[in-house]
Amino acid sequence: MKAAAPMELIVVERDPAGVAVVTINRPKSLNSLTRPMIVSLAAAIRRLDADPAVGVVVITGRGRAFCSGVDLTAAEEVFKGDVKDVVADPVVQMERCRKPIIGAINGYAVTAGFEIALACDILIAGKDAKFVDTHTRFGIFPSWGLSQKLPRIIGINRAREVSLSGMAITAEMAEKWGLVNHVVDNGEVLKKAKEVAQAILRNNRDMVLRYKSVINDGSKLGLGHALALEKERAHSYYNGMTKEQFADMQKFISLRSSKPSSKL
């Protein structure tokens, strides 16, 4: 049987409403990543970011795992690749993506899979989801941000224990610690992710992109500088609006206020 081509292992599906679902599609290997899959995932994110028909991206894995990390049988090819090659780096491309990215975490998110999850803007987890950092277990140095992002989300002491001991973070712990937004039944993960995506798409798409940007850029700064960044971008935004755009804003607000509120 002919081996699957790299792009078949990263499946992209778009719906007419503007939600694109990216599926890591290697279930027999728990969606472990080879070098061609990594390159393909980065390329898929770049294309979706550039596609004006796409408003929200959902990333998930097929089968029992979200992503079990790098395929260690191909470790040399992956780790001796150019780690500074940002074009082929899916995490860098996710961080650069202007569109909101929702992670639908089914099963295990291990090491590189954990890092892909951390690059998402919103996380939905199934009840059996587990987040595991095995860098220290296998002697792998982190390069997709786990050592820096996790402490900022769950606290430095918890992150030390997770990464230095290799303990798993269960879905219940992840929700309690603020790592995931929602925990749902295992079979409802993708459905919930799409519901959140649809709620986002009902809003002003331009402002969704701007708001994501100011949150993410501001999170890298101290509070004073982040507040100044918000003020600067607000000033630039409103100064650039025409009377017609203000009228359109008022029209949009009046239309929204006449509709029933979202269940979210």
pLDDT tens digit sequence for 38-97? 999 999 999 999 999 999 999 999 999 999 988 877 766 666 665 667 888 999 999 999
Q: Contact, 204 vs 245, CB < 8 A? A: no
* Structural contact between residues 34 and 78, judged by C-beta atoms closer than 8 angstroms: yes
What range does the domain containing 179 cover? 10-202
- Regarding whether 76 and 115 lie in a shared domain, the answer is yes
We report the CATH number of the domain holding residue 236 as: 1.10.12
Give dist(CA 50, CA 178) in Å, integer: 30
Instruction: Provide the whole-model pTM.
Output: 0.88
Give the span between the Cα atoms of 112 and 70, in whole angstroms. Answer: 6
Residue 165 burial (CB count, 10 A)? 11
CB 71 within 8 A of CB 34: yes
Residue 137 sits in a domain whose CATH number is 3.90.226.10
**Do 216 and 198 sit in the same domain of this protein?**
no
Residue 4 lies in a domain: no
Express each pLDDT in 24-55 by its tens digit: 999 999 999 998 899 999 999 999 999 999 99
